[in-house]
């Protein structure tokens, strides 16, 4: 076990994607700053970067639409 991981007596049941290592983690997890999640299952956690990219694109689009609304009137 790596030093940055801990054994939690009440582990979170979610799955995480570690942005530092590129690994999916479950039960024993790294520092919060290095991970995305929780996700409901391993397959979804493996798609974490894709999901984050899609959410960012949607938020950017919503911001542009909101900004355009102000310039219309």
- Burial state string for 52-64 with b = 16 or more CB within 10 A and e = fewer than 16: eeeeeeeeeeeee
Question: Please, how many CA atoms are within 13 Å of residue 11, restricted to the half-sphere of its CB?
Answer: 14
- Residue 1 pLDDT level (bands cut at 50, 70, 90): very low
Sign of the Cα pseudo-torsion (41, 45, 38, 59, in order): negative
In the chain, domain spans: 15-72
Q: What pLDDT, in 10s, does the model give residues 9-48?
A: 676 789 999 999 999 999 878 999 999 999 999 999 999 9
pLDDT score of 55 more than 50: yes
């Amino acid at each position: 076990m790596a030093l940055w991981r801990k054994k939690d007596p009440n582990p979170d049941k979610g799955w995480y994607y570690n942005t530092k290592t590129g690994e999916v983690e479950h039960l024993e997890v790294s520092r919060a700053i290095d991970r995305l999640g929780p996700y409901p299952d391993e397959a979804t956690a493996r798609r974490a970067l894709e999901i984050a990219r899609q959410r960012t694109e949607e938020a950017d689009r919503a911001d542009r639409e909101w900004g355009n609304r102000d310039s219309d009137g």
